[in-house]
Structure 1
């Protein structure tokens, strides 16, 4: 076995068999479930337990981030929808029509994150409309986090299944 074959076997640069892709995917979903509408979830738990200044900080951060999210959508919402649709369509074509593995890897990150983005917008609108306080705010943020985690688990499952399928069908020396 030559040194090149050994290196290719040890360091596989394809997306679904690359450890760095899976580490990055785990970090993305971990961050998405920790930052609920831009508010760290540990602050939500601290505000629920201790109240006082922690609760005031939570309310301020929620207000700031809700205004930021809704401001972005009000100013450039249609452009954002068009751009995201264009990018997802391009990724879908590259992924499944042209069979580009890197595009497939990006698609399995971007597609479920669009649902998280839409959910964040919906939750921000609900917070502005209802102005929940206390337990109602905690419940809303916790529910949002639960559904982000649910989307993340489903996305990780589908990505892992597709990645395993890719690795089994292509094999380690397909490109040689």
Structure 2
């Protein structure tokens, strides 16, 4: 037995039984819920608590990130949508029709992030329509963060249930 087969026997390289996949899933949803519309949540709470320069910084970064996000959507949103549909259709077909576990894992990791992006785009459009003051901005970003956390909880639940099913079915076969 050579070194590579020993390593791969010790470290299971399947996606759902790999500890690094679950760490990556936790880090993804932790950072996604911390950054609502590209704005860190600690800046939102500091602006509410302290005011002054922190409030101005929050309003500036929300305006900049919102304009940037809407510019990207307006200029190349259709191309991004088409490429995303192609990518996720390919992953879903490979993963769930052909049974490639890595494609299942990547699909379950990245597909819910599309819904988070839609929430961020919707929040940016809402803030562009209004004259955003601190109250409106913090309320919108809090709502964004709560929706992201809900999507993350559902995503983690579905991913863990599917991962347990895969581990049990492969364990029963092997």
Query: What TM-score do the two structures reach when normalised by structure 2?
Result: 0.93
CA spacing shift, 1:172–1:35, aligned 2, 3 Å? farther
1:171 matched residue in structure 2:
171
2:69–2:124 Cα contact (<8 Å) kept: yes
Cα RMSD (Å): 2.0
Q: Which runs of 5+ in 1 are unaligned?
A: none
How many pairs were matched up?
173
Give matches, 1:14-163, under 5 Å: 14-163=14-163
2:69–2:121 Cα contact (<8 Å) kept: yes
1:37–1:66 Cα contact (<8 Å) kept: yes
Post-superposition shift, 1:131? 2.6
2:59–2:134 Cα contact (<8 Å) kept: no
Q: Which runs of 5+ in 2 are unaligned?
A: none
Measured in 2, the distance between the counterparts of 1:83 and 1:103 equals 17
Q: Secondary structure at the match of 1:68?
A: helix
Measured in 2, the distance between the counterparts of 1:20 and 1:90 equals 24
Q: Secondary structure at the match of 1:117?
A: helix
Measured in 2, the distance between the counterparts of 1:110 and 1:131 equals 33
Measured in 2, the distance between the counterparts of 1:4 and 1:97 equals 30
Query: What TM-score do the two structures reach when normalised by structure 1?
Result: 0.92
Q: Which structure 1 residue ranges, 4+ long, deviate > 4 Å from structure 2?
A: 3-9
Q: Secondary structure at the match of 1:87?
A: helix
Instruction: Show CA shifts across 1:37-72 (max 9, x none).
Output: 111000000000010000000001001100110000
